Structure 1
Amino acid sequence: MKYNAFKSIVNSIKQPVELLTPSVSFSVKGKRVVPYIEPNFSKVEFSKEKPSILLVSAVGASGKTTTACALSFDTQLPVLDLAKHKPVGDNTLTGILTSAYPIEKVGAVLEGLRAGTHGIIIDGIDEARSKTTEQGFEAFLDDLIERSKGSASTAIVVFGRSQVLLTTWCYLVDKDADVGMVQIDPFDLDQAKSYIDSCAIEGDTGQQENYEQARDGVLTRLSAAFQPAAAMVENTFLSFIGYPPVLDAIGTLLRTERNYHSIQQALSDGTGGQLEINLLIRISDYLLDREHKEKALPNFINQIVTDAGASYGEALRQSLFSNEEQCARILSRALSRPFPLRVIEDNALNERYEQAVATWCPEHPFLDDTRVRNVVFAAVAITRCALSSIPEYRTLAHEYTSAIRPTYHLLYIMAELGKAREISVQCFNMLIQSCSEFLDLNVEISINIDGESWEDQDQENDKTAELTIEIKFPEKEQERTFIFKGIVDNETISLGPYLINTRVTLPCHIDLSSTPAVEAIGDCSIFAPVVRFDTPDLIIRSVPKRTQDATKGNAGLFINARKAQGHAGAVSLGAGDIEIQCVEHSLVHPLAKYARKVVPELADPTLREKYRRLRRIFSEFASHSKGGLAKYRDKIEHQRVLRNSIGKGVLDALVKEGVLRSDSKFYYVDPVQFDAKLGISWHQLRQYESSSRLETFLKGVS
């Protein structure tokens, strides 16, 4: 669907009422962003041509706000910018309307929304969710339903990021609202060229032909991503080359570097398999290298090096304003924090250097004033700092991703720059949050963190861990698995705000901490020595499904810990349940009622290690897309699961007795044999329960 068709749906039968008192958060836009490249849209759920409420979904930084502003200008309908508005709740929309319009016209506005002759555009629904409780957010959505009920045309258009907008869609559907959903598509090749031109060309450069050759050369290298059959081309899984951040990175390169021949030479080879990712990293590194060699060195570093003396100067020439340091300074500026590291020992030289950097840094191509220019540059800066050997830089990466939710670009770039090396488990959460943007009606996500069990900490310690993220698009027959090798180098890691079909086993403490909520979506479980809650709201919900899907997937949060502590202001069970198994806890209402104290050992000391290995094996299993419980063979057979010959004996016995069966890739649980041979359910085993048949089975393990 072209932009004009989208606009005609929204603008149908509209007779807008003029605002009396526009505000920063509620106004009709007086102009478009110039230049503006009109996007295309795809219908996701669209049962009627003009739904009363129309949701516009897109991944982060893909032009939602720009499109909302253009739509306001073209239709003369007001935009409610929830990123700039106070927290929403009951009657928020009604309150805005009564204060923004002349009192004598408020009735006409409300009637116009019901009839479809008036309309409102809402932007930043994800920011609105981040500032209020689940109850307040749902009350706001109820207000939208009530104001648009029975509308003959689209009365309310809501723009937002995929994950929050999908939750919004599910709530509206459950309330029988008349709602449709479209998504903003990536640009096609011609649109991409126009967008790059808008970023790169500043007046007549006199090199138009050379510029076009360089631009087209870059895009030619990425041409597969723009083909109609791109989904069938190897290595184009979840291609995002057509979205603004990537094109902005290319435009920034072409605007900053006017030696177009140099660009083509620098980017001409070495991209390897992940073409888009490698090219983006090379573009970013090119810009960082250029800032060091062509700006910093001749303008201020060389003089400092000379004054430092020969013995110290050459080391400074290489280290000052390095790519890694530039990335750290970019994140510091974006966070409005002082740079955390003194880079020159000599006080006078360091002061001169910092003064020079303060002058040059605001003009850095990665920055737009105090913001990181685009999410691609942000992902590169985060990754470089997260993988740094300098603790202060790693802290900046974590602080930035806590303050500004990472986009899916981080997942790709970390996978490329972090391959073949161990990363800190502290990085795992930023990767989990970045992949939450893939949550969609047509996507299956599974996340596993595999580390040592807290129950095995009395044995030889294993400080390694592995994060596996599986993303599947069944309708497109596409899937991608990201694997990150980690090292447990902290006593505590934080997880949240989103967990999506996430299973965690780690020997360190886990903090479930986020404001306004921690959301466990789908089937989630955590095994750790200490789990601490710190959130105003703990929300459990199922993974969203299409309207016609008869069943929803499993949902719930299962905690297994030596100790559970902390608090949640509220518990919102949209689906499933919460179960907190612990040896001890200091939880209070409302979490205390979900806690259950357990004794994690069998009474018979001769069977304890066999029982522990049996529980560890079965704790690895989770619901599989093919049905039943399944787990990859290499995960079950890993040293951290089996531990010793006893574990191997237990596994062999389970296979021999038919409790487990396997193929070349998976182990599967046979529920009939599980009950027959062990005399206990999988859930009872998780509860540390036993049976005479289970103990007989364990006694037979050699």
Structure 2
Amino acid sequence: MIDFTIDLFWRARLAGTARSADPLVAGWSFPSAGLPGFKEAPLSPSDLGASDAALNSGVILVSAPGAVGKSTLARQIAFETGAVYVDLAKSEPVGGNSITGGLAKAALFPSWTADSVALLIDGLDEARIRVTQEAFEAFLGDVAELAKGRKMPVVLFGRTGAVQDAWLILAEKGQDPAILEVGYYDLETSVEFAVAALQAKRPEKQVSVTEREALQLILGRLREQTKGDGDRFAGYAPVLQAVADHVNAEKNPAVLVARLESGEQPVTLLTVANAILERERGKLDTLAFENASVREQLYSPSEQLGHLASRLYGCPAPALPALTPKDEQTYADALNTWVAEHPFLKSLHSASSVVFEAMIATHALKNPAIADQVVARELARGAAANPFLAEFYVLDPAESVFLPPDHVGIVYASLRARLALGDSASLLVEDADGGEGPSLRAEVEITFAPKGYERSRALKFETDYSSPLKLGSYIEDIEIAASEANVEIGQGKEAILVAPVSIQCEGLIISADRLIVEPSRTGQQVVFLEAATFVGADSASMPTVRSGASLAASWPGVRSYPWTAFASDPSPVDDQRIVEGLRRFRKFVIAFRSHSKGELARYQGKIESGRMTKGSGQRILDHLVSCKILELVGPMYILYPDELGAVAGATYADCVRRVYNPKTIDFVKAALGIM
């Protein structure tokens, strides 16, 4: 087993690097110092290639879910090996000569030719958001060309989705890139990470035995609360940093330990963050008010989050209760200092960590005065969504199961930002009555299936159609069957749809100038858009459909530019019994839109649920099983596409588009007993 540590792997693969004294270009640097308290996260090879591929490949991709710590690792490797650290979030937008031009401008081409300089390129996801797909592919083409024939690899760091895209593009351009995944810290390493983080916050004071005990207790309890996720949550670097901040804010760690041991203080990420806010509120004790009773109304956690949101989003600060002129001045002076130095802030307009940023954003989403601004900003993140926003949004005990329609895309994108390679997540939005008639409400289900786990986890909400369902500029693995809903796609110039995607709605709005349809690595490769009305950008160009994917669209006027080539009409059927049977047949087939362990599989509970089997659904399911199109294997139903075609004359793509041939109609008639 290869040990992918800096000492045992990276020093060897990047041996022979030589720092340059020449100034580099924007975003390019030779890190001059290591990171205080650095604890190396585990690295392991992806199942996309051979376990030893990284030993020889000319390009290495390092993948991680959002905020795991890939940038920290990239900078530390660069510091310890002498490689150039390239931050694509700070460099010029990428294109066909980004790396070639950067090497030339930094006078590094001679060193590159001599194989004495290495590049660690960070921020693939940030780079992709800033440019068109063509520019991103041209950038990777430049990387592929420069990497040919070199001893030292070009190393690129990015979130899971961006790395998967880069892997496919680089393979098309003649490279065979290796993929390494940044893992999570186990309990022992998590404690050491938190201790180092605490020490770095106040280097003049050693971490005490009691403080270490508090860290161990909190991290242990977090693991107990999230044991279904293994190390995935409790081993997340920003979570560990938040725990260190929590202990650092505690004046008497022995009291904290006592509360934890007695169970008086529950431990979740929300309670950890709230404890910091409560501790901050203790600063009120230092103020002398004329009216002492106002103290209870000031600087609550909610008010603090309001002040922090005003910094991050440029909105008005929270309104305060009536105060005497002297008390108002006393409090205003204190706020100027407290908010500016708040532990949740790194600078005037940025949060100190993605955990605290997520908590502030969640609070701001509930404020009608700025919610639209927050929605726009979060949707514009695309595939670079904050992985912790959903954690606070979903776990907030004061929150009901209702999810506003314009928040659906934000919560789903946040959950997808937590995916590692091999994980999957899907979004289902469906009329609350199951499509039986007009509806003003919908049920929302977000399913998360971690790689290697036998069971998926489903989060369920309700929403309504009071405003458009907003999905942002990057959507993947989505099914929407909402007859009365308006659905809006796109924030910015491009909207990327990664198959499988099926949207049936009242009104479809595509705000982007350009639509790109991409295939997935493990799912069905169809994107289908159907609406009663359609609104597109005036300057919209013809959709771009990548190899391996397909696009079909249906709405009045779809057979005009730029949609002509993608127009699709559902099959006309007059008998309402058959219409209902085909609806149920379609629901079963398209439920198998993603692969699991090489098969089209879905959990038994989902397939046999009342929403699937209602009406004629049970007879359709029984017929699918009796004809061996579906088979129950353990806890999973497996769909066999060859049998689906041979026996029922249907394909996944046909069912998504509601295009049924006579053989399919006869299959449904047989299931319903219609002669």
Give the equivalent residue in structure 1 for 2:273: 284
CA distance, structure 1, for counterparts of residue 189 and residue 639 of structure 2: 51
Give the equivalent residue in structure 2 for 1:180: 178
CA distance, structure 2, for counterparts of residue 440 and residue 215 of structure 1: 26
- Give, as a single letter, the amino acid of the residue that structure 1 aligns with 2:427: N
Matched, 1:363 2:351: no
Q: Is the 8 A contact 1:617 1:636 kept in 2?
A: no
CA distance, structure 1, for counterparts of residue 362 and residue 654 of structure 2: 42
CA distance, structure 1, for counterparts of residue 559 and residue 158 of structure 2: 35
1:495 to 471, 491, 500: 471
CA distance, structure 1, for counterparts of residue 66 and residue 337 of structure 2: 31
Give the equivalent residue in structure 1 for 2:359: 380
For residues 682 and 85 of structure 1, do their structure 2 counterparts lie closer, same or farther at Cα, with a shift above 3 Å needed? closer
CA distance, structure 1, for counterparts of residue 456 and residue 325 of structure 2: 52
Matched, 1:596 2:572: no
Give the equivalent residue in structure 2 for 1:263: 256
Give the number of aligned pairs: 651
CA distance, structure 1, for counterparts of residue 28 and residue 616 of structure 2: 67
Give the equivalent residue in structure 2 for 1:129: 128
SS in 2 for 1:176: coil
Give the equivalent residue in structure 2 for 1:244: 237
CA distance, structure 1, for counterparts of residue 363 and residue 258 of structure 2: 24
Q: Is the 8 A contact 2:403 2:462 kept in 1?
A: yes
Give the equivalent residue in structure 2 for 1:687: 658
Report the Cα offset of residue 68 of structure 1: 2.7
- Give, as a single letter, the amino acid of the residue that structure 2 aligns with 1:521: V
- Give, as a single letter, the amino acid of the residue that structure 2 aligns with 1:431: V
CA distance, structure 1, for counterparts of residue 173 and residue 621 of structure 2: 47
Report the Cα offset of residue 4 of structure 1: 1.3
SS in 1 for 2:127: helix
The equivalences for 1:129-278 within 5 A come to 129-154=128-153, 156-188=154-186, 191-201=189-199, 202-205=202-205, 208-221=208-221, 234-268=227-261, 278=267
For residues 689 and 64 of structure 1, do their structure 2 counterparts lie closer, same or farther at Cα, with a shift above 3 Å needed? closer
Q: Is the 8 A contact 1:59 1:161 kept in 2?
A: yes
Which of 603-612 and 569-578 deviates more?
603-612
What's the % identity of the aligned pairs? 21
CA distance, structure 2, for counterparts of residue 673 and residue 50 of structure 1: 42
CA distance, structure 1, for counterparts of residue 45 and residue 587 of structure 2: 45
Report the Cα offset of residue 529 of structure 1: 1.3
Give the equivalent residue in structure 2 for 1:561: 531
Once the two structures are superposed, residues 112-159 of structure 1 have per-residue CA deviations (whole angstroms, 9 ceiling, x without a partner) of 2xxx332222222221111111111111111111112111233x2222
Q: Is the 8 A contact 2:119 2:155 kept in 1?
A: yes
Give the equivalent residue in structure 2 for 1:3: 6
* Structure 2 residue ranges without an equivalent (≥5): none
Q: Is the 8 A contact 2:405 2:464 kept in 1?
A: yes
For residues 681 and 282 of structure 1, do their structure 2 counterparts lie closer, same or farther at Cα, with a shift above 3 Å needed? closer
Matched, 1:13 2:16: yes
- Give, as a single letter, the amino acid of the residue that structure 2 aligns with 1:142: G
CA distance, structure 1, for counterparts of residue 354 and residue 210 of structure 2: 28
Once the two structures are superposed, residues 580-624 of structure 1 have per-residue CA deviations (whole angstroms, 9 ceiling, x without a partner) of 44231468644442133558x644578766666666666656456
2:619 to 633, 652, 668: 652
Report the Cα offset of residue 469 of structure 1: 1.4
Once the two structures are superposed, residues 324-375 of structure 1 have per-residue CA deviations (whole angstroms, 9 ceiling, x without a partner) of 332333233223x123653547897997566643432122222212322222
SS in 2 for 1:526: strand
Report the Cα offset of residue 47 of structure 1: 1.6
- Give, as a single letter, the amino acid of the residue that structure 1 aligns with 2:404: S
Give the equivalent residue in structure 1 for 2:544: 572
1:410 to 374, 389, 398: 389
SS in 2 for 1:93: helix
Give the equivalent residue in structure 1 for 2:283: 295
- Give, as a single letter, the amino acid of the residue that structure 2 aligns with 1:21: P
For residues 509 and 128 of structure 1, do their structure 2 counterparts lie closer, same or farther at Cα, with a shift above 3 Å needed? same
1:421 to 366, 388, 401: 401
Report the Cα offset of residue 513 of structure 1: 0.5
Give the equivalent residue in structure 2 for 1:54: 60
Q: Is the 8 A contact 1:466 1:485 kept in 2?
A: yes
For residues 671 and 471 of structure 1, do their structure 2 counterparts lie closer, same or farther at Cα, with a shift above 3 Å needed? closer
Q: Is the 8 A contact 2:465 2:485 kept in 1?
A: no
1:538 to 508, 515, 526: 515
For residues 589 and 378 of structure 1, do their structure 2 counterparts lie closer, same or farther at Cα, with a shift above 3 Å needed? same
CA distance, structure 1, for counterparts of residue 412 and residue 375 of structure 2: 13
CA distance, structure 1, for counterparts of residue 618 and residue 565 of structure 2: 35
CA distance, structure 1, for counterparts of residue 580 and residue 164 of structure 2: 45
Give the equivalent residue in structure 2 for 1:432: 412
1:37 to 24, 36, 39: 39
Once the two structures are superposed, residues 277-326 of structure 1 have per-residue CA deviations (whole angstroms, 9 ceiling, x without a partner) of x432221111112223x1246538x55x65xxxxxxx6x65554332332
CA distance, structure 2, for counterparts of residue 554 and residue 434 of structure 1: 23
Report the Cα offset of residue 700 of structure 1: 5.3
SS in 2 for 1:258: coil
Once the two structures are superposed, residues 248-287 of structure 1 have per-residue CA deviations (whole angstroms, 9 ceiling, x without a partner) of 1121112222211232244346599xx9xx4322211111
For residues 591 and 324 of structure 1, do their structure 2 counterparts lie closer, same or farther at Cα, with a shift above 3 Å needed? farther
Report the Cα offset of residue 242 of structure 1: 3.0
CA distance, structure 1, for counterparts of residue 122 and residue 14 of structure 2: 17
* Structure 1 residue ranges without an equivalent (≥5): 226-232, 307-313, 545-551
1:65 to 52, 63, 71: 71
For residues 635 and 323 of structure 1, do their structure 2 counterparts lie closer, same or farther at Cα, with a shift above 3 Å needed? farther
For residues 492 and 11 of structure 1, do their structure 2 counterparts lie closer, same or farther at Cα, with a shift above 3 Å needed? same
Matched, 1:322 2:332: no
SS in 2 for 1:177: coil
Give the equivalent residue in structure 2 for 1:311: none
- Give, as a single letter, the amino acid of the residue that structure 2 aligns with 1:543: S
For residues 673 and 522 of structure 1, do their structure 2 counterparts lie closer, same or farther at Cα, with a shift above 3 Å needed? closer
- Give, as a single letter, the amino acid of the residue that structure 1 aligns with 2:568: R
CA distance, structure 2, for counterparts of residue 669 and residue 454 of structure 1: 26
Q: Is the 8 A contact 2:390 2:414 kept in 1?
A: yes
SS in 2 for 1:95: helix
For residues 633 and 481 of structure 1, do their structure 2 counterparts lie closer, same or farther at Cα, with a shift above 3 Å needed? closer
SS in 2 for 1:12: coil
CA distance, structure 1, for counterparts of residue 636 and residue 287 of structure 2: 60
CA distance, structure 1, for counterparts of residue 469 and residue 524 of structure 2: 26
CA distance, structure 1, for counterparts of residue 184 and residue 615 of structure 2: 50
Matched, 1:117 2:116: yes
- Give, as a single letter, the amino acid of the residue that structure 2 aligns with 1:235: G
CA distance, structure 1, for counterparts of residue 640 and residue 528 of structure 2: 22
SS in 1 for 2:39: coil
Q: Is the 8 A contact 1:677 1:693 kept in 2?
A: no
- Give, as a single letter, the amino acid of the residue that structure 1 aligns with 2:243: I
